[in-house]
Structure 1
């Protein structure tokens, strides 16, 4: 399946591949900000939080962790990834920070603890995630966290134009109209504000996850409705409102190790998690247990393909074009790339 997907999206001459990407950008521009948010929510984020508390690491980071030299535990890999993200986002104490797509609160709570004078506003379309994050914040004595449950199609932050930073970890993969979302983000930020984005991506192709009824479309059907695989350079097609300052890359082996760690944890805690699956899925509990295991295995295989050089994780930091325009800078943007 990994090889077939690779062949499908890298077929043809380079000019043909560029034309497909350009056509996809046009499709994105004609789309709503997010596709099928309610279906995605039902698929992936309404599983009891206790399952993720058992399977994820101590920070409950439901995204790629960073396995640097000597790192052998998921806990240390999560910690490293959170520290790197905060550094690259240029976060500082006292800032007003808006997080889009906060998951189970790994970055939200990390930022709140690291920057106690900062005001953190996190957005999720899952009520379960909001409840979990607020419970954990209360347990840890964190009073600088607000969590909003909202569909990104309709979201308007309470303090638009006043945020120093907008951060997003593996949320843009669930979005569709990047140009419009980036326009909105530029209005939510201060003129000097910045955006940090962490996505998984393909080295050159961008494509939607679709369900055509084929058995091989199981990931879309059960886990990723409305999602897309961005291309590494996809953001360069939307320079209108946010200027790309810098870009970094983690090769796919970091996600391979992360997914395998989740799978390992899932197998270890089956006795504790099985009642959750029976309560959630009823007679389909065994089938869904197998689907979750297969999901983690497939993610590991995809990101591990070609030594992590086919699909990987990219980080981007953008500055607000509202500030750049005032200073008469080139709207085309610029970037410097790096790899860990």
Structure 2
């Protein structure tokens, strides 16, 4: 096939009615498009067949994971440029409408000739097999049961602790850091986040802390070492729990810190003085969120505080059902759901909590993700060896795209401080609540 890149560029611009913002390089080594921009590399014609058989984001993701599609140049710039053309053409669009317009050429009589041309360029063939090693293994059964949630968590977290060490760095914290300045190190910013949470919870020696979704144990270790509390961390990941227990033993804190493989719905040894839930509530699901809030309320003593740190999506204009991101659902966080911060606050209040503070950390997460991507790229060969080429490519794409989503205000992240206020009404908070900044 002669000049595949030129034919694809012409086809895309004909259907989209706008020039492509990036350069294309096809499998026949032909190139087309604006010079000096990142290059979208279509390594195999199979990439086009993936899009034809599975239009939209999932087809693109499979092409990327399989290595059929790549970017030569700045990945952030490429994603940002494409998000203004293929992904988001139109003010009210948040999904792949531009790409859908291109693929709808197969069905629309007015653009059927373009659709036929796309089929010719893609070549004949059955649907390509998806990259099997990355497919989520959680399908079947009711959504967000303890058993299915455990399978979903295992898919994302039980991939080898060394892999996460290379991406997250020594802090081993897998949630938004708190940046005193952009020049801080990732470890300094993660320590600042853990300390901010402890101060918001007003932790004191002798108190009991429950950390829901404790990961590799960084929060319970920090709270016990720096604030003198006794802490219980719960996770559904066997690998996380083993890693956390080893860290706790090495720190000499096994008498005050315990990590369990346990669902929040199966935790019955309250009351606790404080509860932290950092980057865990995204796994709960809208159908279970009221139960989650009620369970945590019941585990707190009167006057106890909850710090809920959670990614938020923008509200839908029609308040419709949550629209699952197929790439994230299939390759990153199976069964994960994002809710607007207003809905989260409402659910916590309905459970009985008094919400006292909401702090938005959107820009902080963008900085965090860019550091994780840099870590992954620095340790790329080892990350591929520890996981697989597909998994490393999944992580690079989802973290880079997520960084841009936070930067462009498509999603946010918030710390919500809530209190189980006793009947007396004494919340225990200072009159100037932001004094916890130190």
TM bucket, shorter chain: 0.7 to 0.9
Matched, 1:316 2:416: yes
Equivalent residue, structure 2, for 1:174? 283
Q: Report if aligned partners of 1:108, 1:122 keep a CA contact under 8 Å in 2.
A: yes
Shift of 1:34: 6.7
- SS of residue paired to 1:248: strand
RMSD of aligned alpha carbons: 2.8
Partners of 2:191 and 2:359 lie apart in 1 by: 18
2:302 corresponding residue in structure 1:
191
Give the whole-Å Cα distance in 2 for the aligned partners of 1:171 and 1:87.
20
Q: Distance in 2 between the 1:194 and 1:156 partners?
A: 17
Equivalence for 2:401: 298
Structure 2: distance between partners of 1:137 and 1:104: 10
Residue 39 of structure 1: CA displacement? 3.4
Hey, what's the Cα distance between the residues in 1 that align with 2:341 and 2:94?
14
TM-score between both structures, scaled by the size of structure 1: 0.77
Residues in 1 aligned to 2:221 and 2:183: alpha-carbon distance in whole angstroms: 22
Secondary structure of 1:233 counterpart = helix
Uncovered stretches (5+) of structure 2, i.e. residues with no partner? 1-56, 58-82, 96-141, 427-432
Paired residues, number: 291
Superposition TM-score, scaled by structure 2 size: 0.61
Distance, in Å, in 2 between the alignment partners of 1:247 and 1:274 is 39
SS in 1 for 2:308: strand
Question: Does 2:219 align with 1:219?
Answer: no
Query: 2:214 and 2:299 mapped to 1: Cα distance?
Result: 17
Match of 1:258 in 2: 368
Q: Deviations for 1:122-180, whole angstroms, at most 9, x for unmatched residues?
A: 0100010000001011111122111111233x4223x22x2100110011111122222
Aligned to 1:210: 324
> Is the contact made by 2:143 and 2:335 (CA closer than 8 Å) also made in structure 1?
no
Within a 5 Å distance, the mapping from 1:31-110 to structure 2 comes to 36-69=148-181, 71-110=183-222
Runs of 5+ unmatched residues, structure 1: 11-29, 212-216, 278-284, 330-335
Q: 1:7 to 1:92 in 2, by over 3 A?
A: farther
* Aligned twin of 1:287: 390
Q: Larger Cα Rg: Structure 1 or Structure 2? A: 2
Would the alpha carbon gap of residues 270 and 328 (structure 1) be closer, same or farther in structure 2, given more than 3 Å must change? closer
Larger relative contact order (Cα-Cα within 8 Å, sequence gap ≥ 6) = 1
The CA deviation at 1:300 is 1.0
